[in-house]
Amino acid sequence: MDPKDYWKALRKSWIVLVALTLVGGIVGYGFASTLADSYKSESSLFVASSGNTSGSDLLQGSTFTQNVVQSYAELATTSSVLTPVIAELNLDTTPTKLARQIDAQVPLNTVFVNITVTDSSATRAASISNSVARSLRSVATDLAPTSSSGKAPVAISIVAPALVPQNPSGPNRHLIEISAALIGLVVGILYAIGRLLFDTRLRTVDDLQARSGVPVIGATRRGAAGQLALRDAPDSALAEDVRRISATLRFAGDGGLLRTLTLTSASRTGESSGLALDLALAVAERGARVLVIDADLRAPSLARLASVDDRAGLSDVLAESATLEEATTHWTGSVDLLTTGGGHSNPHFALGSNAMGALVREVAAAYDLVIVQTASVLDYADALTIGHLTDATAVTVRSRSTNRRQLRSALDSLENAKTPVVGLVLTDAKLGGRTRRQEQTGRSAPLPAAAPTAGPSDGAHADRSVDDGVAAR
């Protein structure tokens, strides 16, 4: 995975990153607001040896004091010290709970015992700290061994009584809020990277180019369900998308103009019949005669989208129960349709028959462009068969629906069958352009309804030059 892919993933999910960061900050602010202020107050005791006059006695006393002072710090949180404190201050707690509020430390190489008490009340924190210091001094003196003269070897003095703190020591609300916001940001980053690694759906033209190695001849944005852009909204941005694809596709073949094209999809959700009709209308705008053949004999959709009769069609021509002229429907302008007709018991056999090859050659001589729409290449082998009868194959990929594995499997199938692929078309993509309201205000009147059935015109194919000024692939 290229580092640029991670950066792109973060850029794509920037809204999620910002949202989760804000949510984290808000949650942190709310949590910090529920926390009560806490105050810290500290008292200090000094532990010294007593009753030593000679140098050796002073040295021994100092050593003893440093050894025993750490034990005094531990003693400060025991019940023997804290029980008198609770009784003196009349606290509603237990020695175990009170010990959690106390931190007794001995600075390195010193004989000081610093007793720090944390409490929600500043006054109570100071009172507890002072009371613990007094209780510790008393208990430690009682526990210390006495000399022959009855004196304790150490003397404990309170050198710094605890004072009432003026400002709370915690909680650090800003730190909590910043930490929560950072946690939200990290969650957002993990989401973006996880989406990159585990959500393999293809979304953009860049995704197609990076994952396929096949040229992308265009992309179309999402349109209204059941509508055809060139028929229902010829001035829309979607219609312009289709026109760009048709202009590029016409010159995308090797060694000249494409005359016959197989149009299939990389997944079951990437239905290509709507694009086939729109491409036909776009090419027909430039004066060319176009025939669209619905070769999806299992789940036909061309007749429904075009709102034409489907009583006779491709299956009838292949079964020789109808002539090509009888089965062909003149749709609009210079676009004719050959729907599926009555169906066939063995679609793959019918599409791979000699009759199908002869039909494609016949219509290729009568029209400027023939578009054969087939079922998904992953579902059936129809596209692999038809692809050998036409000049090239174009594959539609539905944005945010088709995933990398499906695309790779589809292209591998076409490559293994040695079916030439002219390029990919990304459908339902998120593209910039005019808004829906602008498209509606600039929308032209729909094309007229379908005309009665008529066959391809007699005579030789009109040798037209379509869009000579459009650049090649």
The answer to whether the pTM exceeds 0.75 is no
Percent of the chain clearing pLDDT 70 (strictly above): 84
Helix axes 273-284, 237-250, angle to 10 degrees: 80
What mean pLDDT comes out for the span 10-29? Answer: 94
Judge whether 116 and 26 are in contact, CB under 8 Å. no
Q: Of 384 and 443, which is predicted with more confidence?
A: 384
Euclidean distance between CA atoms 28 and 178, whole angstroms: 8
* pLDDT band (50, 70, 90) for residue 50: low
Between the CA of residue 128 and those of 38, 70, 120, 327, what are the distances in Å?
14, 21, 12, 100
CATH 3.30.460.10 is the classification of domain 205-441 = no
Furthest CA-CA distance within the chain: 138
Residues of the chain with CATH 3.40.50.300: 205-441
Q: What is the pLDDT of residue 60?
A: 53
Judge whether 320 and 353 are in contact, CB under 8 Å. no
What mean pLDDT comes out for the span 32-49? Answer: 92
Instruction: List CB contacts of 15: < 8 A, sequence separation 6 or more.
Output: none
Q: Is 181 left (phi over 0), alpha (psi -120 to 50) or beta?
A: alpha
Residues of the chain with CATH 3.30.70.1130: 39-160
Superfamily of chain region 39-160: EIF_2_alpha (3.30.70.1130)
Dump pLDDT digits (tens) for 304-333: 999 999 889 999 999 999 999 999 999 998
Dump pLDDT digits (tens) for 417-437: 999 899 999 999 988 654 444
Q: Of 86 and 227, which is predicted with more confidence?
A: 86
**Strands 369-373 and 260-265, sheet pairing:** parallel
In the chain, DSSP finds a helix count (H) and a strand count (E) of 19, 12
User: If DSSP codes are grouped into helix, strand and coil, which group holds residue 429?
Assistant: strand
Counted residue by residue, the chain has a size of 473
* Mean confidence (pLDDT) of the chain: 84
Q: Does position 371 have pLDDT exceeding 70, yes or no?
A: yes
Return the H-helix or E-strand segment holding 131: helix 122-143
Return the H-helix or E-strand segment holding 56: helix 55-75
Euclidean distance between CA atoms 392 and 260, whole angstroms: 7
State the alpha helices, DSSP H only, in 161-228. 173-198, 205-212
